[in-house]
């Protein structure tokens, strides 16, 4: 692989564990380990899996004297950030003037600052965007070399509680500071698998990863299973299911827009988004269950009676269900659950049905 690829703090550990490394978002990342994607997927759904997500972009936002960081970031996102209590986390999007999504991100209030986590492929442009608009009101500190670990699965809580006992009491979408092995970590109860789990922001990535992997319930998990897990959970992958030409309303993300913000606006593309809230979006993201074994991948056309009505944006095998699933966008008139469609796979129509998501029931720990 070229020298141009960046490496996370766990690169040596991935090699040691026999990972197959591939280029991803400018990084050399593990796509799978010797056990394979299906075993890793099952491990995460039944016990606990450890993911290296250090390629994501962590940024700290602190208000300058007399300013308010939450109010500042609300000029760039439609989420309710001023309503965050210390230790609360929100999912939101950076929008453009057309209401399209520049990136989706997590924002957590620690009390005295905000922590943002950007997608790996967008983090440099996101940082530039935030600096351009918020440099006058906020100190913007990129922490791109800091490690980020995701410990996911039904046994994640009991495992992590051995290192930081108080995590067991945390609820989904909350965060707190913990000291593990002398390293100050910020832990949120969140993740990208649809199951229970935690994300651990730490300067001691390798030491904590090894400590977690030494627990009998935990195995390392690569990008392959991360993708099949998030697809089962009906979660969007930036650059595939959402992009600069897709609004949060088309993507089915209205729930992530604060109720007051839907009325007041004040973020890029607000007029477009408000119009779609009032009148409906021209197309909608939907879940798709194809018949048989054929897998409809990104780019496959969705048709009704031979007429194209949309496109698949993510598709694959859902190991938990033992069958193929997909998601994509269809014209609003054809977006109702139960609608029968054809997915064009290698030129052949595969019958499918529009269904609600997630495909596999969420298991978030809401307390």
Q: Which two tokens stand for residue 212?
A: 């977690």
- 1 confidence band (pLDDT: 50, 70, 90): very low
Assess whether 168 and 33 both reside in one domain: yes
Number of compact structural domains in the chain: 2
Q: Given phi > 0 = left and psi -120 to 50 = alpha, else beta, which region is 54?
A: alpha
Domain-ending residue, one of 202, 232, 262? 232
Same domain, 202 and 302: no
Domain holding 351: CATH number? 2.40.30.110
Q: Residue 4: pLDDT band by 50, 70, 90 thresholds?
A: confident
Q: Find tokens 């030494």 and name the residue.
A: 214
The answer to whether 262 and 274 are in contact (CB under 8 A) is yes
Taking the C-alpha atoms of 154, 157, 163 and 166 in order, what is their torsion angle to the nearest 10 degrees?
180
Contact by Cβ (8 Å): 310, 329: yes
Could you tell me if residue 212 is inside a domain? yes
**Predicted confidence (pLDDT) per residue in 84-111, tens digit:** 999 999 999 999 999 999 999 999 999 9
**Cα gap 1→265, rounded to integer Å:** 46
pLDDT of residue 367: 87
Are 168 and 317 members of one domain? no
Per the structure, the complete domain to which residue 318 belongs is given by 282-367
| The predicted structure's pLDDT at residue 191 | 98
Q: Count of alpha carbons within 13 Å of 282, Cβ hemisphere only?
A: 6
What is the pTM for the complete model shown?
A: 0.97
Say whether both 365 and 228 belong to one domain: no
Unique residue bearing structure tokens 């940082």: 127
Provide the token pair at 278: 């009032």
Residue-wise pLDDT for 274-315, tens only, equals: 999 999 999 999 999 999 999 999 999 999 999 999 999 999
DSSP string, 34-76: TT-HHHHHHHHHHSEEEEE-TTSEEEEEEEPTT--HHHHHTTT
């Amino acid at each position: 692989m070229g020298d141009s690829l960046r490496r996370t703090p766990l690169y040596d550990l991935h090699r040691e564990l026999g990972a197959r490394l591939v280029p991803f978002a400018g990084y050399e990342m593990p796509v799978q380990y010797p056990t394979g994607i299906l075993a890793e997927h099952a491990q995460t759904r039944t016990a606990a899996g450890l993911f290296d997500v250090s390629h994501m972009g962590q940024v700290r936002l602190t208000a300058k004297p007399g300013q308010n960081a939450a109010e500042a970031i609300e000029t760039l996102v439609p989420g309710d950030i001023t309503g965050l209590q210390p230790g609360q986390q929100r999912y939101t999007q950076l929008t453009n003037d057309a209401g399209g999504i520049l990136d989706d991100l997590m924002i957590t209030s620690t009390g005295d600052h905000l922590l943002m986590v950007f997608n790996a492929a967008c983090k440099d442009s996101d940082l530039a965007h935030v600096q351009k608009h918020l440099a006058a009101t906020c100190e913007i500190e990129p922490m791109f070399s800091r490690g980020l670990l995701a410990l996911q699965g039904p046994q994640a809580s009991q495992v992590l509680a051995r290192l930081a006992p108080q995590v067991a009491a945390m609820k989904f979408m909350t965060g707190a500071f913990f000291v593990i092995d002398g390293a100050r970590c910020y832990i949120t109860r969140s993740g990208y698998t649809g199951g229970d789990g935690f994300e651990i922001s730490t300067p001691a990535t390798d030491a904590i990863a090894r400590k977690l992997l030494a627990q009998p319930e935990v195995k390392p998990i690569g990008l392959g299973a991360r993708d099949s897990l998030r697809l089962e959970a009906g979660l969007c992958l930036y650059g595939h299911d959402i992009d600069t030409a897709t609004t949060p309303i088309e993507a089915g993300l209205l729930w992530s827009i604060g109720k007051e913000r839907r009325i007041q606006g004040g973020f890029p593309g607000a007029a477009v988004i408000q119009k779609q809230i009032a009148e409906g979006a021209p197309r909608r993201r939907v879940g798709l269950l194809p018949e048989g074994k054929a897998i409809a991948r990104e780019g496959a056309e969705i048709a009704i009676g031979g007429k194209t009505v949309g496109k698949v944006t993510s598709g694959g095998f859902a190991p938990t269900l033992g069958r193929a699933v997909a998601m994509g966008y269809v014209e609003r008139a054809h977006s109702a659950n139960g609608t029968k469609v054809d997915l064009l796979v290698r030129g052949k129509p595969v019958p499918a049905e529009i269904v609600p998501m997630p495909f596999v029931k969420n298991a978030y720990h809401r307390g």
